[in-house]
Structure 1
Amino acid sequence: MPRDDRGTDERRLTRQAAARLDIPRELRRTIVRRRAYDADAFGRLSERIARFLGTGQFLVYMTGTIIFWVSWNIFAPEHLRWDTYPFIFLTLALSLQASYAAPLILLAQNRQEARDRVQYERDRDVDARARADMEFLAREMAALRMSVGEVATRDFLRSELRSLLADLELKDREDDRV
């Protein structure tokens, strides 16, 4: 019987994790190792292809290829032509290219839409936090204005001190007379 070197707590945590569906199980050891692959590799490749298909460079390459194809199959010696006038093979090649380009472009758009959705949610969260911060600061500013309204200002204190000084001087004069 194999000996389990893990502690009791670790075994208990492993059993609890195995019961949960959101935590992946530990991989079993196999004799033949499976090849690890990147699930997003095809998506990234499709984005690169879709990005290239939308460039002027692709249009120039495609136009040059078609002009060469048609020119060669019209003006080349008869025995070197591979696609005669109705250009059936060219039509087939262009149809095949279009049939692969459309799903690749759609896949790239779906991935971009998912990224945009995540960015939109992130922006919405940042906006909500900024709005909450602005509301908090507005409340704080209102509280400060109210408290400043109750605080004596420098001009008020000077006028009060001047009136007190005037009263004291008046009292001193009255005391000197008596």
Structure 2
Amino acid sequence: MASHPVHAFAARLLGKSPAALDAEERRVLTKIEERLPIARDAGDVDDETATLGDRLADRVAAVGGSWGFILAFTLLLVSWMLLNSGVLPRLGHAFDPYPYIFLNLMLSTLAAIQAPVIMMSQNRQAAKDRLAARLDYEVNLRAELEILRLHDMIEHAVSARLDELLERRPAAS
């Protein structure tokens, strides 16, 4: 690995031997050698590894944390209360009269299920953020190494041109 000029260059710039480079640095060097772009979308990378449970947790969190859900759920609760306090008692068929014990049971069950699912989604988002930071680091490292490599190339070209001009200069008598 150290015999390749890019690795020697990176080892000189990063101050590490090729064996001491971490995975991101090795990936950047490989992409530089292959002359391929390194930028990747963190969302796409995460979606490639997401399981059905991961996608379901994200979907539940997206729906459960929306105004549409809040408004629909409020409408459902008000309807439940009106139905069991106003309409059904007059017909003698109220299945959950005030204090709405069955409604409280359903709400508690919903909260007990929804809270861990939302936490799973938040954990996934944190993992996505860490992945995005690693991918940003790779892109930044690649840009920095490329700039330093171009700087070295310009320095060598200028130095060679100066040497050439000095050789052409007539000797002073």
- Structure 2 unaligned runs (5+)? 1-49, 166-173
Q: Which amino acid aligns with 1:68?
A: S
Cα shift readout 1:10-41 (whole Å, capped 9, x = no counterpart): xxxxxxxxxxxxxxxxxxxxxxxxxxxxx922
CA distance in 2 between counterparts of 1:60 and 1:151 reads: 78
1:79-118 map, 5 Å:
79-118=92-131
CA positional deviation for 1:77: 3.5
CA RMSD of aligned residues (A): 2.4
Q: Secondary structure at the match of 1:77?
A: helix
CA distance in 2 between counterparts of 1:136 and 1:77 reads: 79
1:76 aligns with 2:82: no
Please report the TM-score for the alignment, with normalisation by the length of structure 1: 0.57
CA positional deviation for 1:112: 2.3
CA distance in 1 between counterparts of 2:144 and 2:111 reads: 48
CA positional deviation for 1:92: 1.5
Partner of 2:64: 53
Q: Which amino acid aligns with 1:134?
A: I
CA distance in 2 between counterparts of 1:42 and 1:116 reads: 19
Partner of 1:36: none
Pick aligned residue for 2:155 from 131, 142, 145: 142
1:11-22 map, 5 Å:
none
Pick aligned residue for 2:139 from 110, 126, 135: 126
Pick aligned residue for 2:73 from 62, 68, 76: 62
Higher relative contact order (CA 8 A, sep 6+): 2
Partner of 1:23: none
Partner of 2:17: none
Q: Secondary structure at the match of 2:118?
A: helix
CA distance in 1 between counterparts of 2:129 and 2:88 reads: 54
Partner of 2:53: 42
- Structure 1 unaligned runs (5+)? 1-38, 153-178
Please report the TM-score for the alignment, with normalisation by the length of structure 2: 0.59
Question: Could you say which structure has the higher helix fraction?
Answer: 2
Percentage of pairs with the same residue: 31
Q: Flag the structure with larger Rg.
A: 1
